[in-house]
Each structure stands twice: as C-alpha cells, then as structure tokens.
Chain A
Amino acid sequence: MAALIADQATAARERAVWELLAQVPDPEIPVLSIVDLGIVRHVRHGADGRLSIGLTPTYSGCPATEVIRSSVRNALEKHGHAQAAIEEVLSPPWTSDWLTPEAHRKLAAFGIAPPEGAVSSPKQLWRATVVTCPRCGSRATARVSEFGSTPCKAHYQCSACREPFDYFKCL
C-alpha cells in the first residue's frame, strides 16, 4: 500500500513536470510547445528522487536545440527543480509522427501546413506529397522549394489562392 501511494505520488510529480514543459514554446514555431513537437522523450523521478528530462533534437543541426535546453533549464529552476538533469536522447531519432494531433491543429491555424501522413518508409519521400493549403484548404498546391526558413519546413505555393506557405516536412 505504501509502495502504491509512493508510485502515485511519483506519477503526480512527473505529470506536473510534463505540464510545466507544455508551457515551454518552440523558439522557431512559438505556437507549438516542446511537448506538442514530441521532443520531450521522458520525465523521470529516479529512486534517489532526482528528476531527469530527456530531450531529442528534431534535426542534427537544428539551431533551436540549445535555446530549448536553456528554456527548459529556466522553467525547471523557476519551479524548484534546479537539480534536474537534462539528457540528450538520440535514439530512436525524432520523427514528425511524434507531433501531437494538437500540434497539427495549431500549425494549420498558424498558417503552416502540418505533415501529411506518417513516415514509415524512406521511399515515401519519392512520391509526390499532396499538401493542403492552410489558408483556403485547396489541395492544388505545388512545392516551390525543398527547404524553407528552418530545417523542418519546405516552401509551397497554393494554386487556388496564390498564397505562399510553409509545409512542415515529414521526417
């Protein structure tokens, strides 16, 4: 019984940390939190009571990685977790499949087309992806450039409303 109560207390503490991290925005797409992006891999209270947070980078060279680390550090310190360890988790590698449904909704509302479909096979890259225009909903869109303003986005244009937009790539 005592063990069960202790487990529940740990789970509640971990939940509180997840909620805290859900307030930390991605520096490049601030409508998304780092939890929405799926880059928080674990929140663990060790047997010694020490808190550890696992973060994974989206792209190897993503310049936001260090900003995110220090925002997480600040958020933890502000809420009494100054001793927490932040670990870099490389495996399994981040995938856009880890974007939450909430993230897809927020991206579209922000004007960025969310990734279309799950990424299961590398061959999928060679098929033409049909991307929906986040402004008018048209499926008649064309890729302007493989690479956009950040590593995670490609540049598209809508043939119906003529507006250019970013597409959050599948990875």
Chain B
Amino acid sequence: MSPAVATAARADRALNEALLRYVLRLGDTSLVLGQRLGEWVGHAPTLEEDLGLANLALDLIGQARLLLTYAGEIEGRERDEDALAYLRDAPEFFNLALAEQPNGDFGCTIVRQWLLDAWQLEIYAGLQESTDSRLAAIAAKALKETRYHYRFSSGWLVRLGDGTAESHERVQRAVDQLWRFTSELFAPDEVDERMASAGIAPSLSTAEVRWSAHMDEDLRAATLKRPAAQPYPWHGKRGVHTEHLGYVLAEMQHLQRTYPGARW
C-alpha cells in the first residue's frame, strides 16, 4: 500500500468510527428516552396522557431501531438492533445524560421531553440535508413525528407553567433541576466536529441558536424563568453517565440477559 493510500484508508476508518459513534448517540438517546416514557404506562394522570406518553415512546423506539440497525451495519460486526440495545453495558451507551434522568412527576417528565423534543427538532431538521443519505432519510421521517412530540410537550409546559400556583412551582423546579443537563446538547467534541465538516451532521452552534429561541418563546408563554447556563460535569455522549442509566438498562435488558435470544 502506498503512503497516500494508507493515509486515505486511515482517514476513511476514522470517519467511519466517528459516524458510528454519532449514530449511536442519536439512537441511544431515542432508546433511553423511549424506555423512560414507557415507565409511565398505566401511571399517567389521565388515560389520554398515558396514551400520549406511550405513543411518544413508540415513535422514539422506532427511531432507535432504524438508527441502531444502521449503527450495526456501519460497525460491521454483525450486531443488530437487538444486540446493540440489549447487550451493551452503560459505558458503551452514548445517549445524552438528560434522556436517562428519572421521570419525577408528570411536570418533570414534560420538561425533560420538551428540552429534548426541541433538540431533536433542530438536529433532525439539519440532518435532512446530510451527505449521508441513510441518515437523511431516517431524520426526514423522524422529524415529522418529532413535531407532534414537541407540540405535545410544549403545550403541556405552557398549561402547567401558566396553570395553578402548585403546577407553576413544580414545573419551574423541574426546569431548574434539568437545565444543567442541556449544556451537553450543544457542546461539540471531535465526533461532532468531524461529522459537521464532512457535511454529515448540522452545525451544533446553529442548532443551539434555534433551540434557544424555542426555549425563550415557550418559557415566556409558560410564565417560567430561564435558568442561567450551568457548567456540566457529565458526558453521556462520551459514555460517562449519571447513576440512573444503570437502572434503566437493568430493567430494559434483564430478560435478554437472563434468557439470551428469547422470543415470543
């Protein structure tokens, strides 16, 4: 192999590894958030909202399936969506730490959802133009679903924030508690930069401006205050998680770990 060919092959391999990591981040974020929402089934305040949360979970897990199937193909080690979802440990998950945070009360679940819906809205919108046609197709499909999710979560944010003194206070507390996890959403690392320069992923700084505008508009309508930006010590997308992810995975993976390959 000539030095030029060897350099090109190395560059290809590096790009492929970054792409794999990037697709896992997207897929894992959808999967973990979907799993969290699934915990609400049978427990939501009303039947309608129970169905709503379950529908969101279903869309998110569907998106995760498309993304993890693609990740398995990029990886080329014959791991399918199930192997990736059920047989990896927490440090091999690359979801945003916000997605794994506990449900808390209904208001807290709504705030987490709203923060991530607005994030997905901007990321998927940008990914529609991706030079990676597979990602562009998955994003175009997911974006349509995400618009409904965002309408649901932002609608509830306004109803709770601009509701009773009790609902206002509780939803403001959730905003204050979860805000620190949002800095991870737009903090680029070498994977994000490589993806953006290859035209595969949208620029995070552009997405952040648009996300931030959604935040301000919705918080104003909800009569809630925007917390100050906070430094953030966790890096879910680098595999460093809060203690909560282990519990999510324990429940999600238990059956496949205990009875490998179980079908019904």
Binding site for B on A (CB under 8 A): 57, 59-63, 90-95, 122, 125-126, 144-149, 151, 155, 169, 171
Q: Is the CB of B147 within 8 A of A59?
A: no
Q: Report the nearest B residue to A94, measured CB to CB.
A: B141
Inter-chain CA distance A126–B66, complex, in Å, is 28
Q: Is the CB of A147 within 8 A of B55?
A: yes
Q: In whole Å, how far is A159's beta carbon from the nearest beta carbon of chain B?
A: 17
Q: Is the CB of A93 within 8 A of B140?
A: yes
Name the B residues within 8 Å of A59 (CB-CB). Answer: 58-59, 62, 145
Q: Is the CB of A93 within 8 A of B144?
A: yes
Q: Is the CB of B141 within 8 A of A60?
A: yes
Name the residue in B133, B138, B144, B155 with the highest tally of chain A Cβ atoms < 10 Å from its Cβ. Answer: B144
Q: Is the CB of A90 within 8 A of B48?
A: no
Q: Is the CB of B62 within 8 A of A125?
A: no
Q: Is the CB of B65 within 8 A of A169?
A: no
Q: Is the CB of B140 within 8 A of A92?
A: yes
Q: Is the CB of B137 within 8 A of A169?
A: no
Q: Report the nearest A residue to B47, measured CB to CB.
A: A145
Q: Is the CB of A93 within 8 A of B52?
A: no
Q: Is the CB of A146 within 8 A of B52?
A: yes
Query: Which size bracket describes the interface of B in this complex?
Result: 20 to 34
Inter-chain CA distance A147–B63, complex, in Å, is 18
Name the B residues within 8 Å of A122 (CB-CB). Answer: 147
Q: Is the CB of B51 within 8 A of A147?
A: yes
- A sample of 16 more A-B contacts (CB under 8 A), given A60-B66, A92-B140, is A59-B59, A60-B59, A62-B62, A90-B134, A91-B140, A93-B144, A95-B144, A125-B147, A145-B48, A147-B48, A147-B54, A149-B51, A151-B55, A151-B58, A151-B59, A155-B48
Between A and B, 15 residue pairs with Cβ closer than 8 Å are A57-B141, A60-B65, A60-B66, A60-B138, A60-B141, A60-B142, A60-B145, A90-B140, A91-B133, A91-B137, A93-B137, A122-B147, A146-B151, A147-B152, A171-B145
Q: Report the nearest A residue to B48, measured CB to CB.
A: A145
The proximity string for B residues 139-170 relative to A, scoring 1 for CB distances below 8 Å and 0 otherwise, is: 01110110110011001000000000000000
Q: Report the nearest A residue to B30, measured CB to CB.
A: A60
Q: Is the CB of A90 within 8 A of B148?
A: no
Q: Is the CB of B61 within 8 A of A61?
A: yes
Inter-chain CA distance A125–B154, complex, in Å, is 13
The proximity string for B residues 38-61 relative to A, scoring 1 for CB distances below 8 Å and 0 otherwise, is: 000000000011011011101111
Asked if B136 lies at the interface with its beta carbon under 8 angstroms from chain A, I say yes
Q: Report the nearest A residue to B121, measured CB to CB.
A: A122
Name the A residues within 8 Å of B63 (CB-CB). Answer: 60-61
Q: Report the nearest B residue to A149, measured CB to CB.
A: B51
Inter-chain CA distance A57–B140, complex, in Å, is 13
Smallest CB-CB A-B distances: 9 pairs: A61-B62, A60-B62, A145-B48, A91-B137, A147-B55, A93-B141, A90-B137, A61-B58, A147-B52
Q: Is the CB of B48 within 8 A of A144?
A: yes
Q: In whole Å, how far is A53's beta carbon from the nearest beta carbon of chain B?
A: 18
Knowing A90-B141, A91-B140, A125-B147, say if A148 contacts B51 (CB, 8 Å): yes
Name the residue in A63, A93, A149, A169 with the highest tally of chain B Cβ atoms < 10 Å from its Cβ. Answer: A93
Q: Is the CB of A126 within 8 A of B137?
A: no
Q: Report the nearest A residue to B149, measured CB to CB.
A: A146
Q: In whole Å, how far is B144's beta carbon from the nearest beta carbon of chain A?
A: 5
Name the A residues within 8 Å of B60 (CB-CB). Answer: 61
Q: In whole Å, how far is A113's beta carbon from the nearest beta carbon of chain B?
A: 17
Q: Report the nearest B residue to A126, measured CB to CB.
A: B151
Q: Is the CB of A125 within 8 A of B148?
A: yes
Q: Report the nearest B residue to A88, measured CB to CB.
A: B66
Name the B residues within 8 Å of A92 (CB-CB). Answer: 140
Inter-chain CA distance A135–B171, complex, in Å, is 39
Inter-chain CA distance A145–B55, complex, in Å, is 11
Q: Is the CB of A171 within 8 A of B55?
A: no
Inter-chain CA distance A95–B142, complex, in Å, is 12
Inter-chain CA distance A149–B114, complex, in Å, is 23
